[in-house]
Structure 1
Amino acid sequence: MEGRARGVSPGPHPRAVLFDLFNTLVPGGSKDERDNVSRAMAKTLGVAPEGMATVVRDTFDDRARGNLGDLQETVLSLAQCLGVTPSDAAVASAATLRLEMTRSLHEQTWALSALEDLGAAGVLRGLVTDCTAETPLIWAESSLSPHFEAVSFSCLTGHRKPEPEAYLTAVRALGVSARECLYVGDGGSYELSGAEALGMSAIRFQPSDDMRGDTIDEDQNWSGIVITDLTDLVSRLA
């Protein structure tokens, strides 16, 4: 991507940069892509494909807060919402489809160079993501994992952005204050204004149209710096 930025300086150089995950470090996946995975799960579970696509979309908040349990418990709960109690083997097979989708998104990351450069410059890196049970399961194998000193997964903390605890879980793990952090995200989940409310500076990352997935609760009224290439962060913090 060709870099572009607009807006004002984010202020003093931060000790840490907190990143969103989907649409910031990896693609978010479109509604159609995610619905197709849900339909494939439905065939395995013996439920109606469109019913599964709908219930997966409708339960995002509960899944992102970990309210439905681990991945297999979640898949079972989704099937039961549609009136079916599938076998353990069917649940495991459907769960594998969710894991494969998440792995595929991580394999498309564009962020490694920027993360490496930030680490080399001594900047701490934290992840703050609204995610479902798949992301923690594949995190250790993700190429992103070695480049982060702290992570905050909503499905493990029970807190979604812009709730303060979503950010502060990572802030405390990094051993810094919120005011020493820069937050970078595409603007979903009102994450940019949420970060600023805690005293962080914030930058919106805008992925190219071909890589951008659907955004939930976009921070449309936020105004500030916008970049289209994460390597721009390194020059800003140099």
Structure 2
Amino acid sequence: MRYPLTFTPLSASMPAIATHPVGDVLLGTSLQRSSPAPASRPIAVVLDLFGTLVAAPSAAERRAAAAQFAAVLRVSPTVAESVLSDSWQARHDGHLASTTEVAAYLVTRCDVSAACVDELEMLLARIAHLRLQADATLLQALEQLQRRGVRLAVLSDASPDIAEAWSGGDLAPYFDAAVFSCREGAVKPAPQLFRAVLRELGAAPHQVLYCGDGGGDELAGAERVGIRAVRVERRGGSTGLAFGETPWSGSSIPDVEALPSLLDSWGKR
């Protein structure tokens, strides 16, 4: 689950396609270049998870999840939502190493009986599994990228329940690497996260394209370590929640499904 401390809606004024001197990509048109030498086609793509591969949760979905937590913990939904929101950093930055530890932490924060831990752990695991279900169109796009020999990695601000559910989800078979904030001890845009995914891929920054909806200042974070970045419209719509979003004037594509066409057109005039 991803329960942000703050969120911002997707800007309605953001252009669908834009050029950027670092990202240097366009979908379905000529590659725009800021220097005489064309940018090399990426050999790997790193993708954000929530809002990019799967839908970012809406406020209504967040309230519904909090109600489930409240029922297990026998507290009011208001208390459950407050505790979930306030615990975002601890659940995502590595302070809690497992779903069991997350459940115990939430139980303590709600000041309820430790007998609730097992039931809450099962709820966390069940919700995480549901959160990782992916659209068929997206899986088809990932398969196309695989067939083209593109290496894929996911880089996500994620809690242990998500990290533990990943290998059994729809997406895992398509990815060569998965880097989660809870296992790296930092959240986006920490440079160590981007360097960790580069190591997992065995690739240099200039060989990689980062793709995300912009939460956590991830796009600028990728560029600061030399990775080209492209923004996608937030999956789940403009009401989806995002933590730490910052303005982006660089390249954009409609969704991950557009990536195969983008890479096919890379460098063509």
Alignment of 1:71-110 (within 5 A): 71-87=99-115, 90-109=116-135, 110=137
Alignment of 1:140-159 (within 5 A): 140-159=167-186
Q: Which runs of 5+ in 1 are unaligned?
A: none
Q: Which deviates the most, 117-126 or 34-43?
A: 34-43
Alignment of 1:164-183 (within 5 A): 164-183=191-210
How far the C-alpha of 1:209 sits from its partner, in A, is: 5.4
Q: Within the alignment, does 1:233 sit opposite 2:267 as a pair?
A: no
How far the C-alpha of 1:16 sits from its partner, in A, is: 0.8
> After TM superposition, where is structure 1 displaced by more than 6 Å over at least 4 residues in a row?
none
How far the C-alpha of 1:68 sits from its partner, in A, is: 2.8
How far the C-alpha of 1:190 sits from its partner, in A, is: 0.1
Change (3 A) 1:145 1:25: same
Amino acid at match of 1:194: G
For 1:214, the equivalent position in structure 2 comes to: 241
RMSD: 1.8
Q: Deviations over 1:176-201 (max 9, x none)?
A: 11121100000000000000011111
Q: Which deviates the most, 148-157 or 208-217?
A: 208-217
Q: Which runs of 5+ in 2 are unaligned?
A: 1-15, 26-38, 265-269
For 1:112, the equivalent position in structure 2 comes to: 139
% identical equivalent positions: 31
Amino acid at match of 2:149: G
For 1:6, the equivalent position in structure 2 comes to: 18
How far the C-alpha of 1:210 sits from its partner, in A, is: 4.1
How far the C-alpha of 1:69 sits from its partner, in A, is: 3.3
How many residues in Structure 1 have an aligned counterpart in Structure 2?
232
Q: Deviations over 1:114-169 (max 9, x none)?
A: 21111111111111000011112211111110111111011111121110111111
Question: Which structure ranks higher in relative contact order (CA pairs < 8 Å, sequence separation ≥ 6)?
Answer: 2
Q: Kindly indicate whether the alpha-carbon contact (under 8 Å) linking 1:27 and 1:212 is maintained by their aligned counterparts in 2.
A: no
The two structures have a TM-score, normalised by structure 2, of 0.80
How far the C-alpha of 1:82 sits from its partner, in A, is: 2.3
Task: Give the 3-state SS of the residue equivalent to 2:97 in structure 1.
Answer: coil
The two structures have a TM-score, normalised by structure 1, of 0.90
How far the C-alpha of 1:34 sits from its partner, in A, is: 2.2
Q: Kindly indicate whether the alpha-carbon contact (under 8 Å) linking 2:55 and 2:236 is maintained by their aligned counterparts in 1.
A: no
Change (3 A) 1:136 1:14: same
